[in-house]
Amino acid sequence: MAQPLLRIENLRTWIDTGDAVVRAVDGVSLDIPHGETFALVGESGCGKSLTALSVMRLQPDAGQIVGGKVELNGEDLLALPETRMRDVRGARIAMIFQEPMLSLNPVMTVGAQIAETLRRHTDLEGAALDHRVLELLDAVRIPDGARRRHEYAFQLSGGKQQRVMIATAHACDPELLIADEPTTALDATIQAQVLELLCELQSRRKMSVLLITHDLAVVAQMARRVAVMYAGQIVENADRETFFSRPAHPYSRKLFDSLPGKTKRGDALAVIRGTVPPLTREFVGCRFAERCDHAWDLCRDTTPPWYEIGGGQGVRCHLFAEGEQMREGRGERREGKKSHETAESVAIPASRLPPISSLLEVSDLKVHFPIHKGVFKRVVGHVKAVDGVSFAIERGRTLGLVGESGCGKTTVGKGLLRLVESTAGQVLFDGEDFLRLPRAQLRPRRRHAQIIFQDPYASLNPRMRVMETIEEGMAALGIGADRAARQARIDQLLGEVGLTPEVKYRYPHEFSGGQRQRIAIARALAVEPQLIVCDEPTSALDVSVQAQILNLLKDLQAKKGLAYLFITHNISVIEFLAHEVAVMYLGRVVERGTMEEVLENPKHPYTRVLLSAVPVLDRKTKREVIRLQGDLPSPVNPPPGCHFHPRCPAAMPQCKIAYPEKTRFTATHSTHCHLYPPG
């Protein structure tokens, strides 16, 4: 058997917090062959990123590698002095970090940062160095590299920042590239471009890739082998085809069951109860036992060994002890609970919904931000963030608003709530125009429309306890006879979102990401709204926590008849939750209809591009892949005619002249595109 490029044996990295030792990486072993992509998946906090940092010997100051081996082509990296290790980093092993803006130096141009790596590991200087920098920028498809090299990271879009990170990582043709969640913060079209670029560079340079992600669809597209990590250990290891056709470990199966999608609209998503256990404790038995539907006494008392179960698949689970999986009496453990048994079914009975009527009607909403220049701050232009958006949301229904980052989705949500002031348009809420209300009248009506932000930690006051956070809005709007009544209501709300009343005395930093989002939902519900704007509420969450939040939102809608404006770039979430879909591009809605009409029969070329960019779990699924050229134009100076025409594969001469009229295909399905006659 050929020697792998990277071999990790029983790696253990512990972090001394002062009060306790966190065994963050606790006996990890894996092999990465030459020229292959190896994916490491699992929930946040399971040790994926620290495993990668340990390979680079970049663990935090309080962290220490206490045991194991990390061999690169047979050379033990843990035995090298730091001076030798510096020659390895960047040259033989390179890393792409999750957040490029935090990884790129804000006071250095992007060209200077790429050149810095080349100077450290090569003999290039002068014109040869400049030529290599431009060559790398061209390789990662950054247009006009001669100009862009002199720009700073903040002047680039998120996709271009990630491409600069990729160019820096590839500068010295490394043998191994570690990509830590390289597409998590990117929308579908930019993600597709970055993944395609990584595949192309890997194929051309025959390097190996360690891909860290929690997106199983990305794994299906990129990886040759997959390892599942849980609580500091590898619990399953298999080739891609085996893993996606028959995942073995109960945790792996739960990850698949937690994924939203069209086929699960009628049921609740399967939920992995509880959270990853604290890694400060000494484990006895299986680390997943407390959350496992299959666990029995042996799982709680005895640590499971590693079992090779054939076909290159291995698993750390007592279900695969000799004869265990074959015995009739153990069969029920392997099947586990169906999705409708793991959580309350949250399909919305028609009898429980109020009569269909538009709760919210938005007509020609515009939000233009002035651009000021000069000493006297004269207005020299406008950022047309939202430029004539219209839609309606019925009571008890969900409208999904999708599109690329920067298209104006969040500004629509803030504009209709008057968190930013609108330039023009009409927002009728229960027949009353929100945009025309004086401030004194707007405040009491704000209780009927609330918002859940993307990052719950940033939107919760770190100095306020949970009960103070939730009570603040109630007191301001005069809800509750007195404080005792409000506290009783807070206890009830926490129960409704799956938290115990005791947590109300804690601060935001004491909760996990999923728990903080539940608190944000409780805060929104506290004033008894009829409409909630959900701004990417699950984008920063693992699939298991995302399933809990989506189940909760769907259940609350069924019980309370809530309407949602759900802003996201995750199409699978839209398939699971939304009744209608509106697709935005550069401040305007280009297509709108029911979920089935838009996602199964897309009409606008941009909608087709979005759907073709979404990675799918089943690699056998054949679909047209549409390459989207260029970047989203600036809303300061949008293109004339159809805003999409500079990037549209179906553009015609008239697309450059006039913005297309609305074309209706059904009573609910419409688009703005010159491909179809207006009417």
What does the pLDDT read at residue 486? 93
Query: 312 exposed, middle or buried (CB, 10 Å; 0-12, 13-18, 19+)?
Result: exposed
What does the pLDDT read at residue 352? 40
Q: Nearest 5°: CA angle at 201, between 633 and 102?
A: 60
Question: Residue 357 — very low, low, confident or very high, per pLDDT cuts 50/70/90?
Answer: low
224 versus 191: which is more confidently predicted? 224
3-state secondary structure of 92: coil
What does the pLDDT read at residue 329? 37
425: phi then psi, degrees, rounded to nearest 5: 110, -175
Contacts of 33 (CB under 8 A, 6+ apart): 2, 4, 5, 208, 224
136-156 pLDDT per residue, tens: 998 888 888 899 999 999 888
Average pLDDT of 544-551? Answer: 87
Contacts of 35 (CB under 8 A, 6+ apart): 202, 206, 207, 208
CA distance 198 to 215: 16
**Residue 202's closest CA among 40, 6, 37?**
37
3-state secondary structure of 139: helix
Residue 557 has pLDDT above 60, yes or no: yes
643-661 pLDDT per residue, tens: 999 999 899 999 999 999 9
Per-residue burial over 541-559, b if 16 or more Cβ lie within 10 Å, else e, is bbbbbbbbbbbbbbbbbbe
Q: HEC string of 318-383?
A: HHHCCCCCCCHHHHHHHHCCCHHHHCCCCCCCHHHCCCCCEEEEEEEEEEEEEEEECCCCEEEEEE
Residue 521 has pLDDT above 70, yes or no: yes
What does the pLDDT read at residue 380? 86
Residue 338 has pLDDT above 60, yes or no: no
Average pLDDT of 498-504? Answer: 87
Contact between 493 and 576 under an 8 Å Cβ cutoff? The reply is no
What does the pLDDT read at residue 542? 79
Output 327-333 pairs: Cβ under 8 A, ≥24 positions apart. Answer: 333/293, 333/294, 333/295, 333/296
Cβ atoms < 10 Å from Cβ of 395? 18
Q: What is the DSSP string of 548-583?
A: HHHHHHHHHHHHH--EEEEE-S-HHHHHHH-SEEEE
Average pLDDT of 524-537? Answer: 92
The order of strands in the sheet holding 563-567 is: 449-452, 531-535, 563-567, 398-402, 580-585, 588-594, 670-672, 662-664
Dmax over Cα atoms in the chain, in whole Å? Answer: 83
31-86 pLDDT per residue, tens: 999 999 999 999 888 899 999 999 999 998 899 999 999 999 999 999 999 999 99
Contacts of 1 (CB under 8 A, 6+ apart): none
161 versus 392: which is more confidently predicted? 392
CA distance 224 to 179: 15
Query: Could you identify the residue written with the tokens 């061999």?
Result: 71
CA distance 120 to 127: 17
Residue 328 has pLDDT above 50, yes or no: no
Average pLDDT of 617-635? Answer: 72
Angle between the 483-496 and 513-525 helix axes, to the nearest 10 degrees?
Answer: 130
Average pLDDT of 240-268? Answer: 91
* Average pLDDT of the chain to the nearest whole number: 88
Residue 623 has pLDDT above 70, yes or no: no
Query: 10 exposed, middle or buried (CB, 10 Å; 0-12, 13-18, 19+)?
Result: exposed
CA distance 214 to 434: 40
360-403 pLDDT per residue, tens: 999 999 999 998 888 888 888 889 999 999 999 999 999 999 99
Please say whether the dihedral angle defined by the alpha carbons of residues 467, 473, 476 and 481, taken in this order, is positive or negative: negative
Residue 326 has pLDDT above 60, yes or no: no
**Residue 367's closest CA among 411, 331, 334, 313?**
411
Question: Residue 308 — very low, low, confident or very high, per pLDDT cuts 50/70/90?
Answer: very high
22: which 2 tokens?
């966190």
CA distance 658 to 677: 14
Question: Residue 1 — very low, low, confident or very high, per pLDDT cuts 50/70/90?
Answer: low
Residue 497 has pLDDT above 60, yes or no: yes
Report the phi/psi class of residue 213: left, alpha or beta, with left for phi > 0 and alpha for psi in -120 to 50.
beta
Please say whether the dihedral angle defined by the alpha carbons of residues 477, 560, 576 and 514, taken in this order, is positive or negative: positive
This prediction has a pTM of 0.83
310: phi then psi, degrees, rounded to nearest 5: 100, 150
Structural domains in the chain plus CATH codes: 100-173 (no CATH), 250-342 (no CATH), 351-451+528-672 (3.40.50.300)
Average pLDDT of 207-233? Answer: 93
The order of strands in the sheet holding 75-76 is: 21-32, 6-16, 63-72, 75-76
**Residue 404's closest CA among 629, 586, 638, 626?**
586
635: which 2 tokens?
């809303």
Contacts of 264 (CB under 8 A, 6+ apart): 339, 576
Average pLDDT of 231-237? Answer: 96
The residue type found at 362 is V
Average pLDDT of 293-297? Answer: 91
DSSP-assigned beta bridge partners for residue 230: 233
The residue type found at 314 is G
Question: Residue 185 — very low, low, confident or very high, per pLDDT cuts 50/70/90?
Answer: low
Question: Residue 443 — very low, low, confident or very high, per pLDDT cuts 50/70/90?
Answer: confident
9-36 pLDDT per residue, tens: 999 999 998 888 999 999 999 999 999 9
Question: Residue 488 — very low, low, confident or very high, per pLDDT cuts 50/70/90?
Answer: very high
Rounded-to-5 percentages of helix, strand, coil across the chain: 40, 25, 40
622 versus 208: which is more confidently predicted? 208
Question: Residue 2 — very low, low, confident or very high, per pLDDT cuts 50/70/90?
Answer: confident
